[in-house]
Structure 1
Amino acid sequence: MDAAKTKAQGLIDENGVMVFSKSYCPYCRAAKQLLSDNGAKFQAIELDQVDDGAAIQDALEEMTNQRSVPNIFINKQHIGGNSDLQFRKKQIPKLLEEAHAL
């Protein structure tokens, strides 16, 4: 678990916008589309396509109390999932600017 937690934290720290996703998830697609529509430069990791995806998802749950995907971070701050991102739609440009992710 420690390696997965270190990897997840590293991805969060290195990227202004980090999306932990699954390739088949419609909510993940919606979140990534909203970010793209706002011109975001973001990094996404598809947890169903990496060997340590399940361990990363477990680590994220421990870190955020959220097991579901997408699990979104902007400027190292946990935003939540797709519904949380959609709820903050009007704040996204400001959040992206603060994260230097435009």
Structure 2
Amino acid sequence: MSAAKTKAQSIIDENGVVVFSKSYCPYCKSSKSLLNELGAKYYTLELDQIDDGSAIQDALQEITGQRSVPNIFIQQKHIGGNSDLQATKGTLPALLKDAGAV
């Protein structure tokens, strides 16, 4: 397993809510804004601000089949991107509670 894939997987495993993001991405901002509105504690990794960001993005594609950001996980379950997160608005508070994020 590549170092990037190991790193991505351990971040997913160790955090209730993870947003793999890029600092300039409007969809990422929208996802983080929704999580902030709900008072969620979440781990963000800004892939454009770290040396191995591109490798981690490749690893996420291997893990999830999704290369785009945001790439969101709740309780180690792949949620998807911003539109997927927005679509869970009704159940999101319960998901976040189960993940210990609120």
Q: Which runs of 5+ in 2 are unaligned?
A: none
Task: Give how far 1:24 is off.
Answer: 0.3
What is the TM-score with the length of structure 2 in the denominator? 0.98
Number of matched residues? 102
Instruction: Report what 2:18 is aligned to.
Output: 18
Stretches of 4+ aligned residues off by more than 2 angstroms:
none
Take 1:51 and 1:64, find their aligned partners in 2: how far apart are those partners? 21
Q: CA deviation at 1:51?
A: 0.2
- Report the residue type matching 1:97 in the other structure: K
Report the AA paired with residue 27 of structure 1.
Y
RMSD: 0.8
Corresponding residue of 2:67 = 67
Matching residue of 1:39: 39
Matched, 1:56 2:49: no
Unpaired segments ≥5 residues, structure 1: none
| Overall identity of the aligned pairs, in % | 68
